[in-house]
Amino acid sequence: MQSTVWADDLALEFKRGAVYGPLSFEVGDGLTVLCGPSGSGRTSLMLTLAGRMKPTSGSLTVLGQELPRRARRVQKRTGISGFHDIDNLEDSVTVGAAIREREAWVSPWWAFIRAVDDTEVRRVCAAVFGDVPMPAADAVIWDLDEVQTVLLRAALALMNEPSILFFDQVEQVHSAESRRILWQRLAALVEGGTCVIASATAPDTELWSELGIEPTVILMNKENR
């Protein structure tokens, strides 16, 4: 079976030095977690795998497509969520407005985008939220708790039905209970057929064991650079 992601000696370097790599690894279907401390290049590697950033050396294939040559094809089949300054939500808008804006982005230019009601919120968010309370369409983003906020961002990223969801920085939810819920929901997405590649500062081994989750772990550190 073909790997979802295949990387060989993948690296990214700038004038000031290496950002990540060289790294060689394979990722199949399921939940994969890239683990590394701040400065290890996790976010840049995630964006590279999602076809949003070009590596400087090495070979990379994602969903059978060679990167960066087939970047547009990979971008259409992947979703990104949790990335600082990329998919942030504006605090002052409503949940319905955020969903409507995303719907306009993923729809053909000629499509008429209707106002979003609670039924539409449930349609968009149900698979991601599971048992977590879903916000109403008229709820303002700043009134959501941290779990609802990150799950909404993930739901928006999944609106174009990508084959892979890239979720950056699981530690952006701060409490242990929030992390527990987030790992549960990411695992549920995998069970539903979406490959998930997440990043975290370190393996959450004890929590994964409690939840019965066995992700593939790729360790990164500054010494790799």
pTM (two decimals): 0.94
Q: State the pLDDT at residue 48.
A: 98
Phi, psi angle pair for 196, to nearest 5° = -125, 130
Q: State the pLDDT at residue 222.
A: 53
Give the CA count within 13 Å in the CB-facing half-sphere of 100: 15
Query: What is the chain's pLDDT, residue by residue, as a tens digit (225 residues)?
Result: 457 999 999 999 987 788 999 999 999 999 999 999 888 899 999 999 999 999 999 999 999 999 999 999 999 999 999 999 899 999 999 999 999 999 999 888 888 889 999 999 999 999 999 999 999 999 999 999 999 999 999 999 999 999 999 999 999 999 999 999 999 999 999 999 999 999 999 999 999 999 999 999 999 865 444
Q: State the pLDDT at residue 1.
A: 44
Q: Where are the alpha helices (DSSP H) in the chain?
A: 42-49, 71-76, 95-106, 118-129, 146-157, 176-191, 205-211
Alpha-carbon gap, residue 223 to 225, rounded angstroms: 5
Segment holding 83, helix H or strand E: none
